[in-house]
Amino acid sequence: MDKFLVRGGKPLRGKIEIGGAKNSALPCLAATLLTPETVTLHNVPYVKDLITQRRLLEDLGATVLTPELRTHKVTARNVDIFEAPYHLVKTMRASVLALGPLLSRFGQAKVSLPGGCAIGTRPIDLHLRAFEQLSAVVSLESGDVVARAPKGRLKGAELEFEKVTVTGTENVMMAAVLAEGRTVIRNAAMEPEIEDLAELLNKMGARIRGAGTPVMEIDGVEGLGGAEHTIIPDRIETGTFIVAAAITDGELEIKSCRPEHLTAVIDKLREAGVEIEELNQSTLLVRRSPAGLRASDVITEPHPLFPTDMQAQYMALMTQAEGTSHITETIFENRFMHASELVRMGAEIHVAGNTAEVIGPRKLMGAPILASDLRASASLVLAALCAEGETLIDRVYHIDRGYERIVRKLRSLGGDIERISSGIAETADEAAGAN
């Protein structure tokens, strides 16, 4: 079990390159199952979830070449298995993204029903109901979702999600692109990752309109071809490093990002006393304002509002802000586990239902703490970098799922952090060797 040992109190200074978006690379890799031709994806982040997704594609019979660490050339010509097994789904629930493409191209799919995770039960009922509206027959068989297109090909339909679901929208997009006729998706997710997936699918020959808006129209086609695509930068990694600069009272130049993908985060952090200057359309210069950090309330909502994936990082920052802030989590039912760990470090946080009240500023002291999920891990690393003394963070395998080479990046900025009993390659050449 990896641990991070962090000695806090040092301002982070320097330049950081943002990597590809994990939550775009995952559906885009799944989309390669939709064609027998080769799809080349660039800027795929080297994180554990993508290693898992690659393994899933290979288990299904696809060929995956990585001529460079972050370039995946996938050829799903010989896919002859239509099942995502439990041992992969239990480690990464995004494996459910295999359902849409397998059902779409092969008329059948079997995916282990993903269990819940630390942040919530994470059902996929909305995905399955949407597949049924596209004429699929869906059943549960000893823990597996089994879906079939009765006539071998799905039929387009008008459907409306009763609540916004990001991977649900992505799964239905990939099911609809080869269906017979037109599909209209209402109350579709509008995240930048949805637009990125639509751009890839359209490059492959799909006919999708309205991605990034609440209503998407998809005209099914007979087949899709190969394509080449570069994954968008990770907006959550960008937001995490903005908070890192502010919480350590340092200054960071954040490069290769897309500020327009995290407008709500930038607006909120500016309101909270973070100076964020756009040097150009892909570079931000970030520091804490001289007037200091101010408490500011936030509610997590679907895009384009404040993302739930930035909630934990924001809470860490609010422990250093002057005043009382209220953080309301509306997306997941149990996404405050980082709060109790921050309290162990000296924060004053009171959780009542889906709202956490943070009273600041409070001096954080290093302590042994536990990471519980991907974004909570990031929050605890940020707090440890700001705390006085040593913090030992356990179960950091969570952070390796979504942050590429986080230790190496933070050390390059002056952060005093080291990984103990590392099992993960931290450098590109080590990783290439590991491949």
What amino acid positions are annotated as catalytic residues?
117
Of the pair 47, 157, the CB lying nearest ligand EPZ is at 47
Q: Least distance in Å: CB of 402 to ligand EPZ?
A: 5
Rounded Cα–Cα distance for residues 314 and 27 (Å): 26
Of the pair 57, 293, the CB lying nearest ligand EPZ is at 57
Q: Least distance in Å: CB of 358 to ligand EPZ?
A: 21
Q: Least distance in Å: CB of 166 to ligand EPZ?
A: 4
Q: Is the link from the previous residue into 361 a cis peptide, with omega within 30 of 0?
A: yes
Q: Are strands 323-328 and 283-288 parallel, antiparallel or unpaired?
A: unpaired
Of the pair 166, 224, the CB lying nearest ligand EPZ is at 166
Binding site for ligand EPZ (CB under 6 A): 23, 26, 94, 120, 122-127, 163, 165-168, 308-309, 331-332, 374-375, 402
Of the pair 23, 319, the CB lying nearest ligand EPZ is at 23
Rounded Cα–Cα distance for residues 389 and 387 (Å): 6
Q: Least distance in Å: CB of 362 to ligand EPZ?
A: 26
Q: Are strands 144-148 and 108-112 parallel, antiparallel or unpaired?
A: antiparallel
Name the residue type at position 178: L
CA neighbor of 196 nearest in space, from 82, 327, 30, 316: 30
Of the pair 125, 430, the CB lying nearest ligand EPZ is at 125
Q: Least distance in Å: CB of 309 to ligand EPZ?
A: 5
Q: Least distance in Å: CB of 9 to ligand EPZ?
A: 28
The position carrying tokens 């101010």 is 294
Rounded Cα–Cα distance for residues 238 and 258 (Å): 8
Q: Are strands 355-360 and 348-352 parallel, antiparallel or unpaired?
A: antiparallel
Q: Least distance in Å: CB of 24 to ligand EPZ?
A: 8
Of the pair 288, 401, the CB lying nearest ligand EPZ is at 401
CA neighbor of 185 nearest in space, from 205, 203, 164: 164
312, two tokens: 């934990």
Going edge to edge, which strands form the sheet with 63-68?
63-68, 71-75, 38-42, 227-230
Complete DSSP assignment for 190-246: --HHHHHHHHHHHHTT--EE-TTSSEEEEE--S----EEEEPPB-HHHHHHHHHHHH
Name the residue type at position 71: T
Q: How many helices (H) and strands (E) does the chain have?
A: 15, 24
Of the pair 125, 278, the CB lying nearest ligand EPZ is at 125
Rounded Cα–Cα distance for residues 235 and 54 (Å): 22
